[in-house]
């Protein structure tokens, strides 16, 4: 045993790995008991080892972002289920994932908030800027009004792409059941068009077809406006990646899969620590975007030329 230590480092590593794989304190103790035999782990010992993940999170939250060459940003909020005052509640979390100049994705922020408001998003983005993050070429966002306003104030020159998946959900909520399939198909003709011109033509067709039959659906489509079509101005190989915020939604799905046997986490901090640690440890991987080889062309296109 190393001096001044009660456990081999490998034991601590096993505790953390088991925790990230889905084990709670009770299950971790049970799994390791046959190995440790006469020196079983106490509940507090397991908790202390798991708590070391918190220090890694705090270091990550305060690190400098000045050396990051960000091209695109995905911004979206999602809810984590935690226990609070004896009840299971949903806690909003603001997520930000960057696409770097080599196509790799990097998690930049996981901020707990009271609600997904303008003030919350402004605080999140202002913190990124204060740590040195430069403005992205494109921000891919959901339809949250507060987020859209925050992006326009913090990065007024950044292009904005509204998530097509979120918009389709909005349309479906306003559509009668008998028309859902047809509306979905017509919207897909916009989002999956072969060119910007074809998308605009499909957009106009959608308005004509549904303007009188479902005015609420058309009003919702118009609310997204041209920002639903921004991705067409980028390389075609990247369209699939840039038209939605699925990058962050997949992150949330991985988290839900990890905690499905527990239903919820003990508190808000535990939820964020777990989500961050899953990414930092590599158990949840953020792969390169489709068409990453075309990023150099995007950089050239959006770099101001010297006079």
Buried b (16+ CB within 10 A) or exposed e, 207-245: eeebeeebeebbebbeebeebbbbbbebbeebbebbbbb
The residue among 242 and 302 whose pLDDT is bigger is 242
Tokens 């040195």 -> residue: 132
84 three-class SS = strand
pLDDT at res. 123: 96
pLDDT at res. 54: 76
Q: At what angle do helices 164-174 and 215-224 cross, to 10 degrees?
A: 160
Q: What single string gives the DSSP state of each residue in 134-165?
A: PPPSEEEE-S-HHHHHHHHHH-TTSEEEE-HH
Going by pLDDT thresholds of 50, 70 and 90, the confidence category of residue 101 is very high
What distance in Å separates the CA atoms of residue 78 and residue 84, rounded to the nearest whole number? Answer: 18
The pLDDT > 70 percentage for the chain reads 78
Domain ranges of the chain: 9-61, 65-161+247-307, 164-243
The residue among 244 and 258 whose pLDDT is bigger is 244
pLDDT at res. 188: 97
For the segment 29-44, what is each residue's pLDDT rounded down to a tens digit?
666 666 555 555 666 6
The whole-number average pLDDT for the span 177-183 is: 96
Going by pLDDT thresholds of 50, 70 and 90, the confidence category of residue 114 is confident
Going by pLDDT thresholds of 50, 70 and 90, the confidence category of residue 305 is very low
What size, in residues, is the chain?
A: 307
Indicate if the pLDDT at residue 165 is higher than 50: yes
258: left (phi over 0), alpha (psi -120 to 50) or beta: alpha
pLDDT at res. 304: 61
pLDDT at res. 57: 84
Distances (CA, A) of 305 to 100, 233, 234, 300: 21, 19, 19, 9
pLDDT at res. 33: 61
The CATH class that applies to domain 65-161+247-307 reads: alpha beta
Please give the mean pLDDT across all residues of the chain: 84
For the segment 181-201, what is each residue's pLDDT rounded down to a tens digit?
999 999 999 999 999 999 999
Indicate if the pLDDT at residue 227 is higher than 50: yes
pLDDT at res. 18: 59
pTM: 0.83
pLDDT at res. 42: 61
Residue 163: phi and psi, rounded to 5, are: -65, 120
The residue among 299 and 257 whose pLDDT is bigger is 299
pLDDT at res. 150: 97
Tell me if 249 sits within 8 A of 66, measured CB to CB. no
CA angle (283, 288, 290) in 5-degree steps: 135
pLDDT at res. 6: 59
User: Which residue in 242, 272, 266, 217 sits closest to 79, CA to CA?
Assistant: 272
pLDDT at res. 122: 97
The whole-number average pLDDT for the span 236-249 is: 94
Going by pLDDT thresholds of 50, 70 and 90, the confidence category of residue 72 is very high
User: Which residue in 155, 163, 156 sits closest to 223, CA to CA?
Assistant: 163
The whole-number average pLDDT for the span 64-84 is: 89
Rg (CA), the chain: 23
């Amino acid at each position: 045993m190393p001096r001044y230590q009660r456990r081999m480092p490998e034991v601590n590593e096993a505790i953390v790995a088991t925790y990230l794989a889905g084990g709670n304190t009770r299950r971790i103790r049970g799994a390791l008991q046959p190995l440790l035999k006469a020196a079983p782990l106490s509940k507090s010992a397991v908790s202390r080892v798991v708590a070391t993940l918190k220090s890694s999170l705090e270091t990550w939250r305060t690190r400098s972002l000045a050396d990051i060459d960000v091209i695109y940003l995905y911004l979206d909020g999602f809810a984590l289920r935690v226990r609070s005052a004896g009840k299971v509640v949903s806690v909003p979390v603001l997520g930000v994932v960057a696409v770097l100049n080599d196509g790799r994705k990097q998690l930049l922020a996981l901020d707990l908030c009271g609600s997904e408001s303008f003030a919350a998003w402004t605080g999140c983005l202002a913190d990124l800027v204060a740590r040195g993050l430069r403005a992205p070429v494109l921000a891919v966002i959901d339809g949250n009004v507060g987020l859209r306003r925050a992006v326009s104030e913090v990065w007024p020159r950044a292009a904005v792409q509204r998530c097509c998946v979120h918009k389709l959900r909005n349309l479906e909520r306003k559509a009668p059941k008998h028309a859902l399939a047809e509306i979905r198909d017509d919207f897909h003709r916009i989002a999956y068009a072969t060119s910007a011109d074809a998308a605009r033509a499909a957009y106009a067709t959608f308005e004509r077809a549904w303007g009188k039959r479902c005015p609420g659906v058309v009003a919702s489509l118009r609310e997204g406006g041209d920002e639903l079509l921004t991705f067409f101005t980028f390389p075609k190989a990247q369209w699939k990646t840039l038209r939605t915020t699925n990058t962050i939604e997949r992150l949330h799905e991985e988290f839900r899969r990890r905690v499905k046997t527990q239903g919820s986490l003990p508190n808000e901090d535990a939820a964020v620590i777990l989500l961050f640690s899953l990414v930092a440890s590599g158990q949840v991987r953020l792969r390169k975007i489709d068409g990453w080889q075309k990023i150099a062309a995007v950089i050239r296109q959006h770099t101001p030329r010297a006079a």
